[in-house]
Chain A
Protein backbone atom coordinates (compact mmCIF):
# COMPACT_ATOMS: atom_id res chain seq x y z
CA UNK A 1 0.00 0.00 0.00
CA UNK A 2 1.20 3.44 -0.90
CA UNK A 3 1.44 5.84 1.98
CA UNK A 4 0.10 9.36 1.76
CA UNK A 5 3.38 10.72 3.01
CA UNK A 6 6.63 8.97 3.58
CA UNK A 7 9.88 10.40 4.94
CA UNK A 8 13.00 8.50 3.96
CA UNK A 9 16.04 9.47 5.94
CA UNK A 10 15.15 13.15 5.79
CA UNK A 11 17.44 15.70 7.39
CA UNK A 12 16.95 19.45 7.31
CA UNK A 13 19.61 22.02 8.06
CA UNK A 14 19.25 25.75 8.59
CA UNK A 15 22.75 26.83 7.73
CA UNK A 16 24.79 24.93 10.30
CA UNK A 17 21.90 24.21 12.65
CA UNK A 18 20.21 20.89 12.24
CA UNK A 19 16.43 21.00 12.43
CA UNK A 20 15.51 17.45 11.49
CA UNK A 21 17.81 14.49 11.69
CA UNK A 22 17.38 11.26 9.73
CA UNK A 23 13.62 11.09 9.91
CA UNK A 24 11.99 7.87 8.69
CA UNK A 25 8.24 7.94 8.92
CA UNK A 26 5.14 6.73 7.09
CA UNK A 27 1.80 8.42 7.31
CA UNK A 28 -1.08 6.30 5.96
CA UNK A 29 -4.06 7.78 4.17
CA UNK A 30 -7.21 8.92 5.93
CA UNK A 31 -5.76 8.91 9.34
CA UNK A 32 -5.11 11.57 11.95
CA UNK A 33 -1.42 11.54 12.64
CA UNK A 34 -0.42 13.28 15.84
CA UNK A 35 2.97 14.86 16.38
CA UNK A 36 3.99 15.87 19.87
CA UNK A 37 7.21 17.15 21.30
CA UNK A 38 8.75 20.10 23.10
CA UNK A 39 9.71 23.39 21.46
CA UNK A 40 12.52 23.26 18.96
CA UNK A 41 11.92 19.59 18.23
CA UNK A 42 11.48 20.11 14.48
CA UNK A 43 7.71 19.70 14.32
CA UNK A 44 7.03 22.75 12.19
CA UNK A 45 10.04 22.04 9.98
CA UNK A 46 8.55 18.61 9.40
CA UNK A 47 5.38 20.20 8.02
CA UNK A 48 7.30 22.68 5.89
CA UNK A 49 9.27 19.86 4.31
CA UNK A 50 6.04 18.32 3.03
CA UNK A 51 4.81 21.24 0.93
CA UNK A 52 8.28 22.54 0.18
CA UNK A 53 7.74 25.89 1.85
CA UNK A 54 11.18 25.30 3.35
CA UNK A 55 12.41 26.66 0.04
CA UNK A 56 11.43 30.13 1.16
CA UNK A 57 14.05 29.95 3.88
CA UNK A 58 17.17 30.41 1.82
CA UNK A 59 19.50 28.84 4.34
CA UNK A 60 17.43 25.66 4.59
CA UNK A 61 18.81 22.48 3.06
CA UNK A 62 17.05 19.16 2.83
CA UNK A 63 18.56 15.73 2.29
CA UNK A 64 16.74 12.45 1.88
CA UNK A 65 13.38 11.90 0.26
CA UNK A 66 9.94 13.17 1.15
CA UNK A 67 7.37 11.14 -0.76
CA UNK A 68 3.89 12.51 -1.35
CA UNK A 69 1.57 9.97 -2.98
CA UNK A 70 4.70 7.97 -3.65
CA UNK A 71 6.40 10.81 -5.52
CA UNK A 72 9.48 12.61 -4.29
CA UNK A 73 8.26 16.15 -3.65
CA UNK A 74 11.46 17.60 -5.02
CA UNK A 75 10.79 15.91 -8.36
CA UNK A 76 7.38 17.56 -8.61
CA UNK A 77 7.61 20.28 -11.23
CA UNK A 78 4.37 22.01 -10.33
CA UNK A 79 5.17 22.96 -6.76
CA UNK A 80 2.02 25.10 -6.62
CA UNK A 81 -0.05 22.03 -7.35
CA UNK A 82 1.68 20.26 -4.49
CA UNK A 83 0.96 23.13 -2.13
CA UNK A 84 -2.68 23.11 -3.13
CA UNK A 85 -2.86 19.46 -2.13
CA UNK A 86 -1.58 20.38 1.33
CA UNK A 87 -3.54 22.69 3.59
CA UNK A 88 -1.50 24.24 6.39
CA UNK A 89 -2.59 26.06 9.52
CA UNK A 90 0.16 27.78 11.42
CA UNK A 91 0.01 28.66 15.10
CA UNK A 92 -0.11 32.42 14.59
CA UNK A 93 -3.46 33.32 13.08
CA UNK A 94 -3.12 35.30 9.87
CA UNK A 95 -6.19 36.90 8.38
CA UNK A 96 -5.33 38.26 4.97
CA UNK A 97 -6.11 41.97 4.56
CA UNK A 98 -9.26 41.33 2.55
CA UNK A 99 -12.86 40.43 3.35
CA UNK A 100 -13.68 37.20 5.14
CA UNK A 101 -15.30 35.94 1.96
CA UNK A 102 -12.24 36.77 -0.14
CA UNK A 103 -9.98 35.17 2.44
CA UNK A 104 -11.63 31.82 1.90
CA UNK A 105 -12.20 32.31 -1.83
CA UNK A 106 -8.55 33.21 -2.36
CA UNK A 107 -7.13 29.77 -3.07
CA UNK A 108 -10.07 28.56 -5.21
CA UNK A 109 -9.77 31.71 -7.32
CA UNK A 110 -6.06 31.15 -7.83
CA UNK A 111 -6.77 27.64 -9.07
CA UNK A 112 -9.17 29.00 -11.63
CA UNK A 113 -12.62 28.81 -10.05
CA UNK A 114 -14.52 31.95 -10.92
CA UNK A 115 -18.10 30.78 -10.93
CA UNK A 116 -19.86 32.81 -8.26
CA UNK A 117 -22.13 30.08 -7.03
CA UNK A 118 -19.34 27.53 -6.86
CA UNK A 119 -17.15 29.95 -4.90
CA UNK A 120 -19.95 30.70 -2.49
CA UNK A 121 -20.54 27.01 -1.85
CA UNK A 122 -16.87 26.52 -1.07
CA UNK A 123 -16.77 29.54 1.25
CA UNK A 124 -19.86 28.47 3.18
CA UNK A 125 -18.70 24.85 3.46
CA UNK A 126 -15.22 25.78 4.71
CA UNK A 127 -16.46 28.38 7.18
CA UNK A 128 -18.90 25.83 8.56
CA UNK A 129 -16.21 23.18 8.87
CA UNK A 130 -14.01 25.65 10.71
CA UNK A 131 -16.88 26.47 13.09
CA UNK A 132 -16.76 30.12 12.11
CA UNK A 133 -19.90 30.35 10.00
CA UNK A 134 -22.35 31.20 12.76
CA UNK A 135 -20.21 34.09 13.94
CA UNK A 136 -19.54 35.68 10.57
CA UNK A 137 -22.43 34.74 8.29
CA UNK A 138 -23.89 38.23 8.51
CA UNK A 139 -20.63 40.07 7.86
CA UNK A 140 -18.80 38.12 5.21
CA UNK A 141 -17.57 41.35 3.70
CA UNK A 142 -15.87 42.59 6.82
CA UNK A 143 -12.08 42.62 6.82
CA UNK A 144 -10.60 39.30 7.89
CA UNK A 145 -7.93 41.10 9.86
CA UNK A 146 -10.55 42.74 12.07
CA UNK A 147 -11.64 39.41 13.55
CA UNK A 148 -10.45 38.35 16.99
CA UNK A 149 -7.42 36.10 17.33
CA UNK A 150 -9.44 32.95 17.77
CA UNK A 151 -11.70 33.82 14.86
CA UNK A 152 -8.74 34.55 12.63
CA UNK A 153 -7.33 31.18 13.59
CA UNK A 154 -10.52 29.52 12.44
CA UNK A 155 -10.47 31.66 9.31
CA UNK A 156 -7.03 30.20 8.64
CA UNK A 157 -8.45 26.72 9.03
CA UNK A 158 -11.26 27.57 6.61
CA UNK A 159 -8.66 28.82 4.14
CA UNK A 160 -6.59 25.68 4.49
CA UNK A 161 -9.69 23.64 3.65
CA UNK A 162 -10.74 25.88 0.78
CA UNK A 163 -8.52 24.25 -1.82
CA UNK A 164 -9.79 20.75 -0.86
CA UNK A 165 -6.39 19.43 0.15
CA UNK A 166 -5.43 15.75 0.38
CA UNK A 167 -3.42 16.46 3.49
CA UNK A 168 -4.34 18.94 6.20
CA UNK A 169 -1.46 20.03 8.44
CA UNK A 170 -2.52 21.65 11.67
CA UNK A 171 0.24 23.28 13.66
CA UNK A 172 -1.09 24.21 17.09
CA UNK A 173 -4.40 25.12 15.54
CA UNK A 174 -6.18 25.58 18.85
CA UNK A 175 -3.92 27.84 20.89
CA UNK A 176 -6.13 30.89 20.35
CA UNK A 177 -9.46 29.09 20.27
CA UNK A 178 -11.71 28.58 23.28
CA UNK A 179 -12.08 25.00 24.56
CA UNK A 180 -15.73 24.59 23.55
CA UNK A 181 -15.07 25.58 19.94
CA UNK A 182 -11.92 23.50 19.94
CA UNK A 183 -13.99 20.45 20.83
CA UNK A 184 -16.37 21.20 17.97
CA UNK A 185 -13.50 21.54 15.52
CA UNK A 186 -12.06 18.29 16.82
CA UNK A 187 -15.35 16.60 15.95
CA UNK A 188 -15.15 18.05 12.46
CA UNK A 189 -11.61 16.75 12.10
CA UNK A 190 -12.77 13.27 12.97
CA UNK A 191 -15.36 13.54 10.22
CA UNK A 192 -12.90 14.99 7.72
CA UNK A 193 -10.65 11.99 8.20
CA UNK A 194 -12.63 10.11 5.59
CA UNK A 195 -11.76 12.76 3.00
CA UNK A 196 -8.18 13.60 3.83
CA UNK A 197 -5.14 12.77 5.86
CA UNK A 198 -4.65 15.04 8.84
CA UNK A 199 -1.34 15.78 10.49
CA UNK A 200 -1.88 17.29 13.88
CA UNK A 201 1.03 19.00 15.59
CA UNK A 202 0.05 19.87 19.09
CA UNK A 203 1.41 20.90 22.46
CA UNK A 204 -1.70 19.59 24.12
CA UNK A 205 -0.76 15.95 24.45
CA UNK A 206 -4.31 15.10 25.45
CA UNK A 207 -5.54 16.52 22.16
CA UNK A 208 -3.27 14.09 20.33
CA UNK A 209 -4.57 11.31 22.54
CA UNK A 210 -8.19 12.20 21.81
CA UNK A 211 -7.81 12.48 18.05
CA UNK A 212 -4.77 10.78 16.64
CA UNK A 213 -4.68 7.25 15.28
CA UNK A 214 -0.92 7.24 15.43
CA UNK A 215 1.32 9.57 17.35
CA UNK A 216 4.96 10.48 16.84
CA UNK A 217 7.15 12.00 19.50
CA UNK A 218 9.86 14.39 18.33
CA UNK A 219 12.65 15.70 20.50
CA UNK A 220 15.73 17.75 19.62
CA UNK A 221 15.26 17.33 15.86
CA UNK A 222 14.95 13.56 16.13
CA UNK A 223 12.01 11.24 15.85
CA UNK A 224 12.08 9.42 19.18
CA UNK A 225 9.14 7.12 18.83
CA UNK A 226 6.11 6.52 16.66
CA UNK A 227 3.24 4.12 17.12
CA UNK A 228 -0.48 3.73 17.72
CA UNK A 229 -1.61 6.55 19.97
CA UNK A 230 -2.78 4.35 22.82
CA UNK A 231 0.53 2.57 22.89
CA UNK A 232 2.50 5.82 22.93
CA UNK A 233 0.45 7.07 25.83
CA UNK A 234 0.24 3.91 27.89
CA UNK A 235 3.30 1.84 27.18
CA UNK A 236 5.91 3.75 25.20
CA UNK A 237 9.20 2.02 24.51
CA UNK A 238 11.34 5.05 25.08
CA UNK A 239 11.79 6.59 28.51
CA UNK A 240 11.78 10.12 27.06
CA UNK A 241 8.40 9.54 25.49
CA UNK A 242 7.05 8.20 28.75
CA UNK A 243 8.32 11.26 30.62
CA UNK A 244 6.83 13.62 28.06
CA UNK A 245 3.36 12.12 27.90
CA UNK A 246 3.15 11.81 31.65
CA UNK A 247 4.42 15.34 32.18
CA UNK A 248 7.69 14.47 33.83
CA UNK A 249 9.68 15.86 30.99
CA UNK A 250 12.58 18.20 31.52
Chain B
Protein backbone atom coordinates (compact mmCIF):
# COMPACT_ATOMS: atom_id res chain seq x y z
CA UNK B 1 0.00 0.00 0.00
CA UNK B 2 2.71 2.42 0.98
CA UNK B 3 4.68 1.81 -2.21
CA UNK B 4 1.66 2.84 -4.20
CA UNK B 5 1.60 6.09 -2.34
CA UNK B 6 5.30 6.66 -2.86
CA UNK B 7 5.33 5.69 -6.51
CA UNK B 8 2.08 6.13 -8.39
CA UNK B 9 3.63 4.45 -11.45
CA UNK B 10 4.66 1.22 -9.67
CA UNK B 11 3.85 -1.83 -11.80
CA UNK B 12 0.97 -4.02 -10.87
CA UNK B 13 1.23 -7.80 -10.96
CA UNK B 14 -0.47 -7.79 -14.38
CA UNK B 15 1.94 -5.29 -15.86
CA UNK B 16 4.92 -7.31 -14.57
CA UNK B 17 3.67 -10.34 -16.43
CA UNK B 18 2.99 -8.22 -19.49
CA UNK B 19 6.57 -7.03 -19.56
CA UNK B 20 7.93 -10.56 -19.30
CA UNK B 21 5.77 -11.78 -22.20
CA UNK B 22 6.81 -8.75 -24.21
CA UNK B 23 10.49 -9.60 -23.74
CA UNK B 24 9.90 -13.23 -24.59
CA UNK B 25 8.03 -12.40 -27.80
CA UNK B 26 10.67 -9.91 -28.83
CA UNK B 27 13.45 -12.45 -28.26
CA UNK B 28 11.66 -15.23 -30.16
CA UNK B 29 10.91 -13.09 -33.19
CA UNK B 30 14.48 -11.82 -33.23
CA UNK B 31 15.84 -15.36 -33.03
CA UNK B 32 13.68 -16.47 -35.95
CA UNK B 33 14.88 -13.50 -37.98
CA UNK B 34 18.49 -14.49 -37.41
CA UNK B 35 17.66 -18.08 -38.21
CA UNK B 36 16.47 -16.81 -41.55
CA UNK B 37 19.58 -14.82 -42.28
CA UNK B 38 22.08 -17.52 -41.35
CA UNK B 39 21.35 -19.87 -44.28
CA UNK B 40 21.43 -17.00 -46.75
CA UNK B 41 24.80 -15.83 -45.49
CA UNK B 42 26.10 -19.40 -45.31
CA UNK B 43 25.12 -20.12 -48.91
CA UNK B 44 26.71 -16.95 -50.20
CA UNK B 45 29.94 -17.34 -48.22
CA UNK B 46 30.26 -21.02 -49.14
CA UNK B 47 29.57 -20.37 -52.83
CA UNK B 48 31.97 -17.48 -53.13
CA UNK B 49 34.68 -19.39 -51.25
CA UNK B 50 34.35 -22.41 -53.52
CA UNK B 51 34.02 -20.34 -56.66
CA UNK B 52 36.85 -17.97 -55.92
CA UNK B 53 39.53 -19.67 -58.12
CA UNK B 54 37.26 -19.43 -61.18
CA UNK B 55 35.77 -15.99 -60.72
CA UNK B 56 37.17 -13.43 -63.10
CA UNK B 57 36.04 -11.15 -65.88
CA UNK B 58 37.19 -13.77 -68.40
CA UNK B 59 34.98 -16.35 -66.69
CA UNK B 60 32.00 -14.13 -67.44
CA UNK B 61 32.99 -13.15 -70.96
CA UNK B 62 34.48 -16.37 -72.40
CA UNK B 63 32.50 -19.16 -73.93
CA UNK B 64 32.66 -22.67 -72.48
CA UNK B 65 35.44 -24.68 -74.12
CA UNK B 66 36.77 -28.22 -74.16
CA UNK B 67 33.56 -29.85 -72.97
CA UNK B 68 33.10 -27.08 -70.43
CA UNK B 69 36.34 -27.81 -68.66
CA UNK B 70 37.79 -24.48 -69.69
CA UNK B 71 36.65 -21.02 -70.75
CA UNK B 72 33.74 -19.31 -69.08
CA UNK B 73 29.99 -18.93 -69.10
CA UNK B 74 29.31 -16.18 -71.63
CA UNK B 75 27.02 -18.33 -73.79
CA UNK B 76 24.69 -19.34 -70.95
CA UNK B 77 24.82 -15.88 -69.41
CA UNK B 78 23.70 -14.08 -72.56
CA UNK B 79 21.18 -16.87 -73.18
CA UNK B 80 19.58 -16.26 -69.79
CA UNK B 81 19.57 -12.54 -70.50
CA UNK B 82 17.65 -13.02 -73.75
CA UNK B 83 15.31 -15.54 -72.16
CA UNK B 84 14.40 -13.02 -69.45
CA UNK B 85 14.14 -10.17 -71.93
CA UNK B 86 11.84 -11.93 -74.38
CA UNK B 87 9.67 -13.44 -71.64
CA UNK B 88 9.30 -10.01 -70.06
CA UNK B 89 8.36 -8.43 -73.38
CA UNK B 90 5.57 -10.99 -73.54
CA UNK B 91 4.53 -11.17 -69.89
CA UNK B 92 4.89 -7.60 -68.60
CA UNK B 93 2.42 -5.82 -70.93
CA UNK B 94 -0.02 -8.72 -70.79
CA UNK B 95 0.13 -9.00 -67.03
CA UNK B 96 -0.03 -5.27 -66.36
CA UNK B 97 -2.99 -4.74 -68.71
CA UNK B 98 -4.81 -7.73 -67.23
CA UNK B 99 -4.14 -6.37 -63.74
CA UNK B 100 -5.48 -2.96 -64.76
CA UNK B 101 -8.63 -4.57 -66.13
CA UNK B 102 -9.19 -6.73 -63.07
CA UNK B 103 -8.66 -3.92 -60.60
CA UNK B 104 -10.15 -0.95 -62.46
CA UNK B 105 -12.81 -2.15 -64.83
CA UNK B 106 -14.04 -5.58 -63.83
CA UNK B 107 -17.25 -5.75 -61.85
CA UNK B 108 -17.27 -7.97 -58.82
CA UNK B 109 -19.22 -10.87 -60.28
CA UNK B 110 -18.62 -14.59 -60.59
CA UNK B 111 -16.58 -14.25 -63.81
CA UNK B 112 -14.13 -11.90 -62.12
CA UNK B 113 -13.92 -14.08 -59.06
CA UNK B 114 -13.29 -17.08 -61.27
CA UNK B 115 -10.49 -15.27 -63.12
CA UNK B 116 -8.92 -14.18 -59.83
CA UNK B 117 -9.08 -17.75 -58.57
CA UNK B 118 -7.48 -18.98 -61.79
CA UNK B 119 -4.68 -16.44 -61.46
CA UNK B 120 -3.96 -17.44 -57.88
CA UNK B 121 -3.94 -21.11 -58.81
CA UNK B 122 -1.73 -20.55 -61.82
CA UNK B 123 0.80 -18.92 -59.50
CA UNK B 124 0.89 -22.12 -57.49
CA UNK B 125 1.53 -24.47 -60.40
CA UNK B 126 4.99 -26.12 -60.08
CA UNK B 127 7.47 -24.94 -62.66
CA UNK B 128 8.03 -28.42 -64.09
CA UNK B 129 4.33 -28.52 -64.96
CA UNK B 130 4.78 -25.22 -66.76
CA UNK B 131 7.67 -26.83 -68.61
CA UNK B 132 5.52 -29.73 -69.75
CA UNK B 133 2.71 -27.35 -70.67
CA UNK B 134 5.14 -25.30 -72.74
CA UNK B 135 6.34 -28.43 -74.48
CA UNK B 136 2.79 -29.38 -75.41
CA UNK B 137 1.41 -25.94 -76.17
CA UNK B 138 4.24 -24.00 -77.74
CA UNK B 139 6.72 -26.60 -79.00
CA UNK B 140 4.25 -29.11 -80.46
CA UNK B 141 0.79 -27.55 -80.77
CA UNK B 142 1.91 -24.16 -82.05
CA UNK B 143 4.80 -25.82 -83.86
CA UNK B 144 7.49 -23.47 -82.57
CA UNK B 145 9.91 -26.31 -82.02
CA UNK B 146 12.39 -26.04 -79.21
CA UNK B 147 13.67 -22.52 -79.36
CA UNK B 148 14.20 -19.29 -77.46
CA UNK B 149 10.68 -18.11 -78.29
CA UNK B 150 9.00 -21.27 -77.01
CA UNK B 151 11.04 -21.18 -73.80
CA UNK B 152 10.32 -17.48 -73.34
CA UNK B 153 6.59 -18.06 -73.81
CA UNK B 154 6.71 -20.81 -71.21
CA UNK B 155 8.55 -18.61 -68.72
CA UNK B 156 6.11 -15.80 -69.51
CA UNK B 157 3.15 -18.02 -68.64
CA UNK B 158 4.91 -18.93 -65.42
CA UNK B 159 5.58 -15.33 -64.38
CA UNK B 160 2.24 -13.87 -65.55
CA UNK B 161 0.11 -14.63 -62.48
CA UNK B 162 2.54 -12.95 -60.12
CA UNK B 163 2.82 -9.92 -62.37
CA UNK B 164 -0.98 -9.70 -62.51
CA UNK B 165 -1.29 -10.03 -58.74
CA UNK B 166 1.40 -7.49 -57.94
CA UNK B 167 -0.06 -5.06 -60.47
CA UNK B 168 -3.48 -5.41 -58.88
CA UNK B 169 -2.03 -4.80 -55.44
CA UNK B 170 -0.10 -1.76 -56.59
CA UNK B 171 -3.23 -0.31 -58.21
CA UNK B 172 -5.37 -1.09 -55.18
CA UNK B 173 -2.96 0.85 -52.97
CA UNK B 174 -4.01 4.07 -54.73
CA UNK B 175 -6.89 5.40 -52.59
CA UNK B 176 -10.36 5.09 -54.08
CA UNK B 177 -11.09 8.73 -53.18
CA UNK B 178 -8.65 9.92 -55.87
CA UNK B 179 -10.60 8.08 -58.52
CA UNK B 180 -13.94 9.33 -57.23
CA UNK B 181 -12.63 12.90 -57.27
CA UNK B 182 -11.61 12.55 -60.91
CA UNK B 183 -14.84 10.89 -61.97
CA UNK B 184 -16.77 13.70 -60.35
CA UNK B 185 -14.92 16.16 -62.54
CA UNK B 186 -16.05 14.32 -65.64
CA UNK B 187 -12.86 12.33 -66.28
CA UNK B 188 -13.34 8.96 -67.95
CA UNK B 189 -12.08 5.84 -66.27
CA UNK B 190 -9.12 5.63 -68.60
CA UNK B 191 -8.23 9.30 -68.11
CA UNK B 192 -8.30 8.68 -64.38
CA UNK B 193 -6.12 5.60 -64.71
CA UNK B 194 -3.66 7.36 -66.99
CA UNK B 195 -3.35 10.56 -64.98
CA UNK B 196 -3.77 9.45 -61.37
CA UNK B 197 -3.73 5.71 -60.83
CA UNK B 198 -0.83 4.56 -63.01
CA UNK B 199 1.61 7.37 -62.17
CA UNK B 200 1.14 6.57 -58.48
CA UNK B 201 1.40 2.82 -58.76
CA UNK B 202 3.99 2.39 -61.51
CA UNK B 203 6.86 1.88 -59.06
CA UNK B 204 4.94 -0.85 -57.28
CA UNK B 205 4.08 -2.49 -60.59
CA UNK B 206 7.70 -2.37 -61.73
CA UNK B 207 8.86 -3.84 -58.41
CA UNK B 208 6.63 -6.82 -59.06
CA UNK B 209 7.94 -7.21 -62.58
CA UNK B 210 11.57 -6.97 -61.47
CA UNK B 211 11.06 -9.67 -58.86
CA UNK B 212 9.83 -11.91 -61.64
CA UNK B 213 13.07 -11.28 -63.55
CA UNK B 214 14.96 -13.06 -60.80
CA UNK B 215 12.54 -15.96 -60.95
CA UNK B 216 12.64 -16.21 -64.75
CA UNK B 217 16.43 -16.26 -64.66
CA UNK B 218 16.62 -18.92 -62.01
CA UNK B 219 14.14 -21.57 -63.10
CA UNK B 220 15.41 -24.59 -65.00
CA UNK B 221 12.30 -26.72 -65.35
CA UNK B 222 10.30 -24.51 -67.76
CA UNK B 223 13.15 -24.32 -70.27
CA UNK B 224 14.28 -27.92 -69.88
CA UNK B 225 12.03 -29.24 -72.65
CA UNK B 226 11.25 -26.06 -74.49
CA UNK B 227 14.50 -24.69 -75.83
CA UNK B 228 17.55 -24.93 -73.61
CA UNK B 229 20.46 -26.90 -74.97
CA UNK B 230 23.60 -28.34 -73.49
CA UNK B 231 26.09 -26.67 -75.71
CA UNK B 232 25.99 -24.62 -78.82
CA UNK B 233 28.87 -23.05 -80.64
CA UNK B 234 28.53 -19.32 -80.60
CA UNK B 235 30.89 -16.61 -81.69
CA UNK B 236 33.57 -15.54 -79.26
CA UNK B 237 33.55 -11.88 -80.15
CA UNK B 238 31.82 -9.17 -82.10
CA UNK B 239 28.13 -8.65 -82.76
CA UNK B 240 27.46 -12.37 -83.01
CA UNK B 241 28.72 -12.82 -79.47
CA UNK B 242 26.41 -10.10 -78.22
CA UNK B 243 23.31 -11.49 -79.96
CA UNK B 244 24.13 -15.15 -80.45
CA UNK B 245 20.60 -16.53 -80.49
CA UNK B 246 17.66 -15.80 -82.74
CA UNK B 247 14.11 -16.35 -81.58
CA UNK B 248 14.03 -19.70 -83.39
CA UNK B 249 17.40 -20.90 -82.10
CA UNK B 250 17.98 -23.17 -79.20
CA UNK B 251 20.05 -21.52 -76.54
CA UNK B 252 22.18 -22.07 -73.47
CA UNK B 253 20.97 -20.75 -70.13
CA UNK B 254 22.72 -20.38 -66.79
CA UNK B 255 20.37 -22.53 -64.77
CA UNK B 256 20.41 -25.34 -67.30
CA UNK B 257 24.17 -25.00 -67.75
CA UNK B 258 24.66 -25.42 -64.03
CA UNK B 259 22.44 -28.47 -64.00
CA UNK B 260 24.39 -30.05 -66.87
CA UNK B 261 27.90 -29.38 -65.58
CA UNK B 262 26.98 -30.58 -62.10
CA UNK B 263 25.26 -33.80 -63.10
CA UNK B 264 25.97 -34.80 -66.70
CA UNK B 265 29.57 -33.93 -67.51
CA UNK B 266 32.72 -35.27 -65.99
CA UNK B 267 35.99 -33.46 -65.36
CA UNK B 268 34.41 -30.05 -64.95
CA UNK B 269 36.51 -28.20 -62.38
CA UNK B 270 34.58 -27.75 -59.15
CA UNK B 271 35.25 -24.03 -59.13
CA UNK B 272 33.40 -23.77 -62.47
CA UNK B 273 30.26 -25.27 -61.00
CA UNK B 274 30.38 -23.03 -57.98
CA UNK B 275 31.35 -20.09 -60.15
CA UNK B 276 28.22 -20.53 -62.26
CA UNK B 277 26.11 -20.82 -59.14
CA UNK B 278 27.73 -17.74 -57.64
CA UNK B 279 27.05 -15.73 -60.80
CA UNK B 280 23.40 -16.79 -60.70
CA UNK B 281 23.03 -15.87 -57.05
CA UNK B 282 24.81 -12.61 -57.79
CA UNK B 283 22.32 -11.87 -60.56
CA UNK B 284 19.36 -12.58 -58.30
CA UNK B 285 20.79 -10.40 -55.53
CA UNK B 286 21.52 -7.60 -57.97
CA UNK B 287 18.01 -7.71 -59.41
CA UNK B 288 16.36 -7.89 -56.00
CA UNK B 289 18.47 -5.01 -54.73
CA UNK B 290 17.24 -3.02 -57.70
CA UNK B 291 13.65 -3.70 -56.73
CA UNK B 292 14.32 -2.85 -53.08
CA UNK B 293 15.93 0.37 -54.23
CA UNK B 294 12.82 1.05 -56.27
CA UNK B 295 10.64 0.53 -53.23
CA UNK B 296 12.72 2.92 -51.12
CA UNK B 297 12.46 5.46 -53.92
CA UNK B 298 8.72 4.86 -54.04
CA UNK B 299 8.29 5.46 -50.33
CA UNK B 300 10.36 8.62 -50.42
CA UNK B 301 8.26 9.92 -53.30
CA UNK B 302 4.93 8.97 -51.80
CA UNK B 303 2.55 11.79 -52.50
CA UNK B 304 -0.06 11.37 -49.84
User: Is A106 in the interface zone, CB < 8 Å from B?
Assistant: yes
The one of A88, A94, A110 in contact with B191, judged by C-beta atoms closer than 8 angstroms, is A110
B17 at the interface (CB under 8 A from A): no
A107 touching B180, Cβ below 8 Å: no
Name the interface size band of chain B: 20 to 34
B12 beta carbon closer than 8 Å to chain A: no
CA distance A111 to B177 in the complex (A): 21
Query: Is the beta-carbon distance between A163 and B304 smaller than 8 angstroms?
Result: no
Q: Tell whether, in the assembled complex, residue B303 and residue A58 are in contact, meaning their CB atoms are under 8 Å apart.
A: no
Interchain CB contact under 8 A, A145 and B195: no
- A56–B105 alpha-carbon span in the complex (Å): 11
A145 CB → nearest B CB, Å: 4
Binds A, one of B94-102, B161-169, B182-190, B262-270: B182-190
Give the residues in chain A near B185, CB-CB below 8 Å: 83-84, 87, 106-107, 110, 159-160, 162-163
Q: With A94-B177, A106-B195, A145-B303 known to touch, is A80 a contact of B182 (CB < 8 Å)?
A: no
| Interchain CB contact (< 8 A) of B108 among A51, A58, A87, A110 | A58
Q: In the complex, are the beta carbons of B181 and A53 less than 8 A apart?
A: no
Q: Within 8 Å of chain A (Cβ to Cβ): is B107? A: yes
Pick the residue among B177, B184, B187 that contacts A51 (CB under 8 A): B184
- From B178, B186, B304, A107 is in contact (CB under 8 Å) with B186
Given A96-B196, A97-B304, also A110-B181 (CB < 8 A): no
Asked, given contacts A96-B181, A96-B196, A106-B195, whether A80 binds B108 with beta carbons under 8 Å apart, the answer is no
A37 CA / B87 CA spacing, docked (Å): 58
Residues on B with beta carbons closer than 8 Å to the beta carbon of A56: 180, 183
Mark interface residues in B254-282 (1 if CB within 8 Å of A CB, else 0): 00000000000000000000000000000
B212 within 8 Å of A (CB atoms): no
Q: With the chains together, A94 CA to B303 CA distance in Å? A: 12
For window 72-112 of chain A, which residues contact chain B by CB distance below 8 Å?
A: 80-84, 86-88, 90, 92, 94-98, 106-107, 110-111
| Assembled-state Cα–Cα distance A81/B186 (Å) | 6
User: Is A156 at the interface (CB under 8 A from chain B)?
Assistant: yes
A143 at the interface (CB under 8 A from B): yes
Given A84-B185, A97-B200, A110-B191, A53:B180 Cβ within 8 A: yes
User: For window 153-181 of chain B, which residues contact chain A by CB distance below 8 Å?
Assistant: 177-178, 180-181
CB pair B188 A80 closer than 8 Å: yes
Q: Find chain B residues with CB under 8 A from A88 CB.
A: 184
A240 CB, min distance to chain B CBs, angstroms: 31
- Within the complex, the shortest CB–CB distance from A235 to chain B, in Å, comes to 37
B186 and A163 contacting across the interface, CB-CB below 8 Å: yes
Residues on the A chain within 8 Å of B188, using CB = 80
Nearest to B178 among chain A residues (CB) is A96
User: In the complex, A96 Cα to B182 Cα: how many Å?
Assistant: 9
Cβ distance B300 to chain A, nearest Cβ, rounded Å: 13
- CB-nearest residue of chain B to A79: B186
Q: How far is the CB of A172 from chain B (nearest CB, A)?
A: 15
Q: Which residue of A lies closest to B177 (CB)?
A: A94
Kindly state the separation between the CA atoms of A110 and B304 in the bound complex, as whole angstroms: 23
Q: Which residues of B contact A58 (CB under 8 A)?
A: 107-108
Contact of A106 among B182, B200, B303, B304 (CB under 8 A): B182
CA distance A79 to B188 in the complex (A): 9
Instruction: Across the interface, name the chain A residue whose C-beta is closest to B304.
Output: A145
> A81 contacts which chain B residues (CB < 8 A)?
186
> Which residues of the other chain, B, contact A84 by a CB distance below 8 angstroms?
185-186
27 residue pairs from A and B, CB less than 8 Å apart: A53-B180, A53-B183, A53-B184, A58-B108, A80-B186, A82-B186, A83-B183, A83-B186, A86-B184, A87-B185, A90-B181, A90-B184, A94-B177, A94-B180, A94-B181, A96-B178, A96-B181, A96-B182, A97-B199, A97-B304, A106-B182, A107-B186, A111-B186, A143-B303, A160-B185, A162-B185, A163-B185
Given A53-B180, A53-B184, 13 other A-B contacts at CB below 8 A? A84-B186, A87-B184, A96-B178, A96-B182, A97-B199, A110-B191, A111-B186, A143-B303, A145-B303, A160-B184, A160-B185, A162-B185, A163-B185
Q: Which 4 A-B pairs have the closest CB atoms?
A: A97-B303, A84-B186, A83-B186, A107-B185
Give B residues with C-beta under 8 Å from A: 107-108, 177-178, 180-188, 191, 195-196, 199-200, 303-304
